[in-house]
Every structure is written in structure tokens, then in C-alpha cells.
Amino acid sequence: MQLLRTLCNLAAEAHPCARPSRYRRQLRSHRTPVITLINRTEIANIFDVMVALDGVAGLQAAKLATDDDIERLDVMRNRPVQLHRDAARMAIFG
């Protein structure tokens, strides 16, 4: 139940940052936002939800991937490997 409550809180916040912070905004209609401290357990629960959603998103992306998508990913993956082999390591990050 706590996991579901955490997921609902995450969705309700609609915060652009995916990483949970130590503080949570509680928005109430026609009121000023209130900042409340969240504890380590709540942060751990948020990460559990993020891991679960990441897995679901990965499975969905794999199901919907086209041959062009996979080819583009292969090119992206192979570029740093080739640069490393060519000893052009600085170009990996450029």
C-alpha cells in the first residue's frame, strides 16, 4: 500500500526532475505549496517505483522497437567502442 501511495504522490507532483529529493511538495488547490521532509524509507520506496517503471518502460520500448531503431542504437553503441580501439578516447565525450 505504501508503494502505491508513493507512486500516486510522484504522479501528482508532476515534477520535471526524475530523481527524488529529500523534500516533497504537497500541492493543495488554491493554497501555497508546503514543503515536507521525507524520510529514508520513503526515498527507498520512490527508488523501488522508479526501478519498476524503468523495467516496464524498457520492455515496452523493446516491443515497439523497429529495425531502424535497433540499427540506430547499434551505431550509438559501437561508436565509443571503436573510438576506444582507435585510442581516440577524448572524442568519446566530444
Q: What is the pLDDT of residues 69-80, one digit of tens each?
A: 999 989 888 888
Q: The cell 505549496 sits on which residue?
A: 33
Reported as a single tens digit per residue, the pLDDT across 9-50 is: 665 554 444 445 555 555 556 667 778 888 999 999 999 999
Would you state the cell numbers that stand for residue 85, as one nine-digit string? 580501439
User: What are φ and ψ of residue 25, in 5° steps?
Assistant: -85, 135
Q: Would you state the pLDDT for residue 87?
A: 75
**Mean pLDDT of the region 75-90:** 78
| pTM for the model | 0.42
